Each structure stands twice: as structure tokens, then as C-alpha cells.
Structure 1
Amino acid sequence: MNKYVTLVAAIALATLSTDAMAGQAFLRAELGSSDTEVRYDGFRGSESDTSGVVGGGYWFTPNIGVEGHVGSLYNKDLGYDEELDLVSIGVGVVAKKNFGADNTGFFIGARAGVARMTAQVREDTFDVVDDESSTKPYYGVNVGYDFNRRWGLSLNYDRRKGEFSGVDVEVDTISVGGEFRF
């Protein structure tokens, strides 16, 4: 059985084109607005806040890659020198299709993966008083423009979910992003 698995893996690697092996690493930063909806025991409420996410990854081909991200989705002053932060850390796959020559010009894209959302109550002195985490799938779509093979701008929509002691949280984020590839 191991011989067959080795043979299949060798054939799959041999069929990859040189373009697929010549990838690009990337760094991305996104700034936008998150609409955070909370549901608990029949109660439903939502608020918006500024979000900031940074990430990076690797494009294996011009169309398929992997990414990781970390960012702040929501921040609320609770009074008494305490704040509530909603932070996301995730990994996933990305895909995009450029409509210009040489993988430049307008593009559409999508991403999906797993994100660990953490709700933290912390004091202004950065001491974490309490925190709870939830790991769930995330997904998103984007449109944008690649000015050249090294950098581009995008408009992004992402959805992340979490559950904290019976409190369901959904975060919809619309952001503007910049990506530098090297």
C-alpha cells in the first residue's frame, strides 16, 4: 500500500508545472468596519466598530495560495478602566482570478479557513482580566486591482463566527486592503 501512495505522490509532483512551483510570498493589511451581532437567549443586538487585520501567506500559483491573519475586529470601553476586545487569528486558503495581462488588472477572489476568535476583557494597563475563545470556519470574497505583479488593492467582505458560553457572535467586516508580494 505504501508503494502505491509513494507512486501517486511522485506522479502528482511530476505533473506540476514550473509556474506552480514559482510562487510568491505576500503581506496584507486591511482596515475597515466590522458589524458585530450578538445573540443570547432571545436577545439580539449589534454594533459597528473599526477593524484592522494584518496577514500574510504564499501564492503557490497566481490563482491559489494559503494565508494567515491576526487582527482586532471590535473594541468597546466598558468603564472602570476595562475594555472588551474581539480578536481573530486564522489560517486558510485563498483564490483569485485576474482579468488583465500577466496576472495584473482587475480581479475577483475568495478565501476560507478556520479562525480562532477570542473575546477579552482587559484593563487599560493591558492586563487580561478574562478571556474566552471559539474556533469556527470563516469565509470572504473580494474584488480589486493589481497594479503590477508586486502589489494591489482590494475591497473585502469577510464573515467570522464565535460562540462564548452560549453567546453567539457573528462579525461581518468590510475593509480596504493592500497586498505586497515578494
Structure 2
Amino acid sequence: MSHDLDQRDRLPPDLVTLLADWPRDRWSDVPEFEGLAAFWLDRHLGFRDLMSGLRLDAQHVADGLMDPQRWQGRLLRGGEQLVQGLIGHHQIEDASYFPAMLQLEPRLARGFDLLDADHHALDGLLDGFVTSANAALQAPDARAAALAFHACLTPFERQLTRHLEDEEDLIIPVILKHQMR
């Protein structure tokens, strides 16, 4: 199994050993969940919602169900929120949270390296997203532009979702185990 973001379908088993003691379906039952863990998952949910909204909007324009001018405004706002949110989120993870978690769980070093590599891969995908969004906003045929933009979103959304799920499986158990705040 490849560990590259565009190839993997889950984290390697040795990186999710904490999930045995902190299974995903019981995270919200842990008293410490309402702090950092809930905040982290809320941020990730926000990114998922933005991606889903951008994809659905593009589909609606392509299908003639949404006014192109309305779509352009939503794409500008939602696209900016997604790009700036992901960049800021990854910066604070790489600079602060991941080093602290690595000190608490050094056996997961390879997992944090993998997440860092994901961040670099996502930087390239974000560049492609911005290029695609700008092209869609400037295209004379909004329906064709929306269809092309929708096609560009699919691989980006798949890889972003893979990264978010893997990151959650690695770090939420660390947060809960060590009662990080």
C-alpha cells in the first residue's frame, strides 16, 4: 500500500494503534472530548461542508439550476474561506500541535511525517483549486466553466477527505489519551 495521499485508502495499521483504546464511535463519550478534540473535528467538518457546497453549487450551475452570478459570489467567498482556512489550519498544526503530540507519542513519528507530506501535497492541490476557480470565474460560458470546475474538485475533495480522516484517526486519540487542551 502506498502512503502517498493520492494513493492510500487509509493509514497503515501501525499508525492507528491508539484507535483500539479510543475508537472513533466513542470519542464524544470521553469527558475531554468537548475541548480540543471537538474543536478539531468542527474545523474539519467546516472544510468538508465548504467542499461539498462548492461542488453542489458548480453542479447546480452546470445543470442550469443556479444563477451564474450568484454562483460566482458564492465561489469567491467559499473558495477564499476554504483556501485560507486550510492554509492557516495546516500552519498551526505543523508549527505547534504536531510537535507537541510527537513529544507525547514518539512512536507515531512516521504518522506525523505522513501528515506533513499530505500538507505539501494539499498545497499543490490548493494551487490547482485557485487556478480552476479563477478560470471558472473568468470564463464566458458559466455552465461549461462550472462543469469544468466541478471536474477539478473531484480529485481535490477525495484527497482532502482522505487526509482529514487519516489525521483524525491519528491525532484525536492522542488528544483524548493525553487530555490535551
TM over 0.5: no
Higher CA-based Rg: 1
Structure with the higher strand share, 1 or 2: 1
Structure with the higher helix share, 1 or 2: 2
- Larger RCO (CA under 8 A, 6+ residues apart): 2
Query: Which of the five TM-score ranges fits, normalised by the shorter chain?
Result: under 0.3
